[in-house]
Structure 1
Amino acid sequence: METIEVRHLSKAYGHHKAVDDLSFTVHPGRVTGFLGPNGAGKSTTMRMILGLTRPDSGDALVGGRRYDQLAQPLHEVGALLDAGAVHPRRSAYHHLLALAQTNGIGKRRVHEVLAMVGLEGVADRRAGGFSLGMSQRLGIATAMLGDPAVVMLDEPVNGLDPEGIRWVRGLLRHLAGEGRTVFLSSHLMSEMQMTADHLIVVGRGQLLADVAIAEMTASGSLEDAYFALTAESVDYPTTATPDRSAVA
């Protein structure tokens, strides 16, 4: 199975360094969580891995190759970065069919992934009328269309109800159990603690931790460990004490 390798990756926008000499490896057979405060460089890093953003320096490799060097990218990497990136007038079925036909994938697989994510009953509905949770499911179906060895998902449970969140958790664990490389970004600490085996934590574009989740949570909750680790990477607001002297 294939790994994701980030080697000395950097990207700046003007004077702001979104990603700063970042290096880590995502291994197959486990769910690797990607954590960091807003603006820490997570989305930029994932976009560089997928060839959507060009790095200023360094490399982002899948199976030892850049994304633009992959012979059949949809078969090797499945990704969900933006659930809304679907033509609103196209049905769920025809959205997947168009991708399948341009990537040498048969119609049978389209039906399989629709069933996998629970959208077979609304396959003929226009994607523009989908709820956020349904759009997330369609995005996951799109990521799984090529039966890829590497799966990258950015906030996949956003908009899902508790049943949907539990389903995504089970899917990710199943994919990792099959030996695939699963890379997951999420702000939900409790969900990450229940899903991930390993964590990559970044702050201000730099690596803060590359650690097994069991080690990260050995002395308490993931949330407490995360805030302690990232405290210097962001200004967290404190809970203000009301000024009772101002009350008449």
Structure 2
Amino acid sequence: MIELRDLTKRYGRQVAVDGLSFRVQPGVVTGFLGPNGSGKSTTMRMILGLDAPDHGQALINGVRYADLPRPLTAVGALLDAGAFHPGRSARAHLSALAASNDLPGSRVEQVLRTVGLSDVAGRRAGTYSLGMRQRLGVAVALLGDPGVLLLDEPVNGLDPEGIRWIRDLLRGLAAEGRTVFVSSHLIAEMALTADRLIVIGRGRLLAETTVAELAAVDDSLEDAFFRLTASATDYHGTEAA
């Protein structure tokens, strides 16, 4: 489980995340929605210990990410699809991560098959399309067979077949009892993928609900989202997404 307790982050006078508290439960896909500049990426970075909060806590299974004994086996994350050496092959990239985290080499081939990259695993990752880089990022997230997954815009660059693939993958992982937390700006896709939603605006919690409950308020989930975030949209701000 992921739990945020009064999480706050400032950049100078700018408040990126403002007293955010919520829980992400296992066994369901939880979508993370908010307008540009709402603080979604900053929140995910704090959950993963990449940014330090000014106040509050971000906990994974009751502890901070930094205190997890073997982080890769507890949490898998996709925040940046380009986080690899472009001259290294996908297989070499995954093999290095597996070796440094004391994971069996067999996991490399397993996750390559899962994400559909087995046939191109020997190619330099720098030659990959955006969709292929996204698949490699998902492979990294799955490498340690973690119980918690955080993915930021995982369908970015994927074609319709790839979007359906990631949708089925995430729902399947949640069905296994894992905690699946997915940030996206594609509201229609979240309507098909997620069971629950966390909606924030200007770093504050606007809704913690199910997709069905939020969509029932308006004609569509998109209409409900725009109504909910209408007063929290600021396209002139500079805070992180």
TM-score calculated relative to the size of structure 2: 0.96
Letter in structure 1 aligned against 2:156? N
How far, CA to CA, are the matches of 1:44 and 1:16 in structure 2?
Answer: 12
Question: Is 2:37–2:234's contact at 8 Å kept on the other side of the alignment?
Answer: no
Matches within 5 A, 1:124-203: 124-203=122-201
1:28 maps to 26
Letter in structure 2 aligned against 1:124? G
2:42 maps to 44
SS in 1 for 2:4: strand
210, 213, 224: which is aligned to 1:212? 210
75, 81, 89: which is aligned to 1:83? 81
2:239 maps to none
SS in 2 for 1:231: helix
CA RMSD after TM alignment: 1.0
Identity of matched residues, %: 66
90, 93, 98: which is aligned to 2:91? 93
Letter in structure 2 aligned against 1:12? R
1:224 has 2:223 as partner: yes
1:74 maps to 72
Deviation at 1:235, TM superposition (A): 4.8
Q: Deviations over 1:6-51 (max 9, x none)?
A: 0000000010000000000000000000000111000000000000
1:17 maps to 15
How far, CA to CA, are the matches of 2:190 and 2:219 in structure 1?
Answer: 14
Aligned length: 235
1:234 has 2:233 as partner: yes
Q: Which runs of 4+ in 1 moved over 3 A?
A: none
Q: Deviations over 1:86-110 (max 9, x none)?
A: 1000100000000000111111100
**RCO greater where, 1 or 2, for CA within 8 Å and sep 6 or more?**
2
Deviation at 1:59, TM superposition (A): 0.1
Q: Deviations over 1:36-78 (max 9, x none)?
A: 0111000000000000000000000000000000001000000
Deviation at 1:220, TM superposition (A): 2.1
SS in 1 for 2:163: helix
TM-score calculated relative to the size of structure 1: 0.93
2:108 maps to 110
Letter in structure 2 aligned against 1:157? V
How far, CA to CA, are the matches of 2:229 and 2:171 in structure 1?
Answer: 27
Larger-Rg structure = 1
SS in 1 for 2:82: coil
**Please, which runs of 5 or more residues in structure 1 have no aligned partner?**
237-248
How far, CA to CA, are the matches of 1:212 and 1:220 in structure 2?
Answer: 16
Letter in structure 1 aligned against 2:107? R
SS in 2 for 1:39: coil
2:238 maps to none
**Please, which runs of 5 or more residues in structure 2 have no aligned partner?**
236-241
1:121 maps to 119
